[in-house]
């Protein structure tokens, strides 16, 4: 029976480690840092504690380089990692992958709560998104005039469509007053400038730097009015509440310019191609009508009806045909424009951007998995090194023992007194250095193990 089984210490410890690692593969733990140790290996060892308990934490050197700032005793942090057991000491500990500072963790919780609440209200519903113009005539940017993001957007937009009207509405893009300034800017732009598209434009930064775009009032202001809003805030990995509220989220300001502004030369080529096609169709239709007219005139010569009356009727029919054909061309032209817009939205460029985001997520998961595997192998390596040190002959020598060997070519190890004769030279290997000695006497096997103090070797 299991209750009567006698475990070895290593067996029980291994079993406990398996249970803990299976039950807590990844866990977040919040607490205060204490007993922070930074050995020469580069790893960090510290205790995470609260008022009732404490937990040992290990942050390996490879993960330490991702810290936003250096750790100090007394800091409030959130550690993400896996629970494991250090078998040589029988202690359980957390192998940390990331360390978030309590302030950033509180911001993330606030972000997730606001996102969930606004999503429940339907503020982010896809069917409420406003369509973007195929060729915008006027774009207004809400951004900082000194930011690099503005110049990235302008550079791409002017290259793709020279002469496009772009207005800049200066607002602060970070700080306590930034969100209120952007809300007021949206209201004023809609009432006075009436652009085709509004763009929230800002470069990358920390969570705190981008926090103005996580404001609830700004999210609601984005959804007001009929003018579509594009969010071009931060880098590809940065997500804000404004991204979810906007009609289109661009990963960067440069990408926003590419998504909004078509290439003028490509449009001109498309217009010329469709114009030539329409001209060919009109010429074919008119030639066909001319042939029918000539055939009708030929037949009318044999009829009793007055030719002049019939010719007037033909002219009326021709005029009606031209008008009907023109209306048909206008209708088809509008249909072609709609198809071009749908084709633009389904272009490979859009899919590449979405797949790039998925690739970034997969890359993060790959890095985390690789880090986890390396941490496991590093722990096994440290354990094996400890075992080797424990069984090393040098460790035995440091406790005061010595190795005796003969003065021959093979340096034969001396195991018994009978292997040497009085007067023979022998060599003693110590933990540090060695001694060359001469045997004064060979004592029998029953002699006491520890000779008297004045006995010479």
Structural domains in the chain (count): 4
Is 44 inside a domain boundary? yes
- Point out the domain boundary residue: 76, 106, 136: 106
Same structural domain, 286 and 216: no
Length of the chain: 457
Distance between CA atoms of residues 446 and 457, nearest Å: 17
Is 301 inside a domain boundary? yes
pLDDT, residue 456, reads: 47
Which residue is associated with the tokens 């763009």?
199
Same structural domain, 135 and 89: no
Give 249's pLDDT tier (boundaries 50, 70, 90).
very high
Same structural domain, 334 and 446: no
Same structural domain, 95 and 183: no
Tokens representing 73 are: 């005793």
pLDDT at residue 350 greater than cutoff 80: no
Is 118 inside a domain boundary? no
Which residue is associated with the tokens 């434009």?
201
pLDDT in tens, 153-208: 999 999 999 989 999 999 999 988 999 999 999 999 998 888 999 999 998 876 67
- CATH number for the domain harbouring residue 43: 2.40.50.140
Residue 372 sits at the vertex; the CA angle it makes with 368 and 377, to the nearest 5 degrees, is 150
Is 376 inside a domain boundary? no
pLDDT, residue 387, reads: 82
Is 111 inside a domain boundary? no
Return the HEC string of 84-131. Answer: EEECCCCEEEEEEEEEEEHHHHHHHHHHHHHHHHHHHHCCCCHHHCCC
- Point out the domain boundary residue: 106, 132, 161: 106
- Point out the domain boundary residue: 58, 76, 106: 106
Same structural domain, 71 and 47: yes
Distance between CA atoms of residues 217 and 186, nearest Å: 11
Give 417's pLDDT tier (boundaries 50, 70, 90).
confident
Same structural domain, 327 and 405: no
Give 306's pLDDT tier (boundaries 50, 70, 90).
low
pLDDT, residue 310, reads: 65
Is 374 inside a domain boundary? no
Cβ proximity of 78 and 102 under 8 Å: yes
Output the DSSP codes for 258-312: HHHS--HHHHHHHHHHHHHHHHHHHHHHHHHHHHHHHHHHHHHTTSSS-HHHHHH
By C-alpha distance, which of 266, 263, 267, 271 is closest to 158? 263
Tokens representing 253 are: 């300001």
Ranking 27-36, 187-196, 438-447 by mean pLDDT, the lowest is 438-447
Same structural domain, 268 and 254: no
Domain extent, residue 215, equals: 124-260
pLDDT, residue 248, reads: 95
Same structural domain, 332 and 403: no
């Amino acid at each position: 029976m299991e209750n009567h089984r006698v475990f070895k210490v290593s067996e029980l410890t291994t079993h406990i480690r398996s249970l803990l690692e299976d039950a807590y593969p990844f866990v977040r733990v919040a607490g205060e840092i204490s007993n922070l140790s930074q050995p020469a290996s580069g790893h960090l060892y510290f205790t995470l504690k609260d008022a009732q308990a404490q937990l040992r934490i290990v942050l390996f050197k490879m993960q330490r380089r991702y810290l936003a700032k250096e750790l100090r005793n007394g800091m409030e942090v959130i550690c993400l990692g896996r629970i494991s057991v250090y078998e040589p000491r029988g202690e359980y500990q957390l192998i940390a992958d990331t360390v978030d500072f309590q302030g950033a963790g509180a911001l993330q919780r606030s972000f997730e709560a606001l996102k969930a609440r606004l999503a429940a209200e339907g503020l982010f519903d896809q069917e409420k998104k406003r369509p973007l113009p195929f060729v915008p005539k006027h774009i207004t940017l809400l951004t900082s005039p000194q930011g690099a993001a503005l110049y990235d957007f302008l550079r791409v937009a002017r290259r793709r469509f020279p002469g496009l009207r772009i207005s800049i509405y200066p607002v602060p893009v970070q700080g306590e007053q930034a969100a209120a300034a952007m809300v007021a800017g949206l209201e004023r732009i809609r009432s006075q400038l009436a652009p085709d598209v509004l763009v929230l434009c800002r470069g990358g930064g920390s969570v705190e730097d981008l926090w103005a775009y996580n404001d609830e009032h700004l999210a609601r202001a984005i959804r007001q009015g009929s003018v579509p809003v594009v969010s071009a805030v931060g880098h590809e990995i940065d997500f804000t509440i404004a991204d979810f509220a906007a009609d289109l989220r661009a990963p960067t300001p440069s990408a926003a310019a590419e998504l909004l502004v078509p290439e003028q030369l490509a449009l001109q080529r498309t217009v010329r191609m469709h114009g030539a096609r329409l001209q060919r169709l009109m010429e074919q239709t008119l030639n066909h009508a001319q042939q029918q007219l000539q055939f009708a005139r030929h037949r009318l010569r044999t009829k009793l009806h007055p030719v002049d009356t019939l010719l007037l009727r033909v002219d009326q029919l021709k005029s009606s045909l031209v008008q009907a054909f023109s209306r048909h061309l206008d209708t088809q032209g509008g249909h072609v424009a709609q198809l071009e817009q749908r084709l633009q939205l389904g272009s490979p460029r859009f899919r590449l951007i979405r797949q790039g985001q998925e690739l970034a997520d997969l890359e993060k998961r790959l890095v985390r998995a690789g880090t986890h595997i390396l941490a496991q192998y590093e722990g096994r390596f440290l354990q094996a090194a400890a075992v080797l040190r424990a069984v090393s002959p040098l460790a035995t020598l440091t406790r005061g023992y010595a190795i005796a060997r003969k003065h021959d070519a093979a340096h034969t190890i001396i195991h018994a007194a009978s292997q040497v004769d009085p007067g023979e030279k022998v060599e003693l290997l110590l933990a540090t250095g060695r001694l060359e000695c001469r045997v004064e006497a060979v004592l029998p096997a029953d002699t006491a193990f520890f000779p008297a103090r004045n006995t010479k070797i």
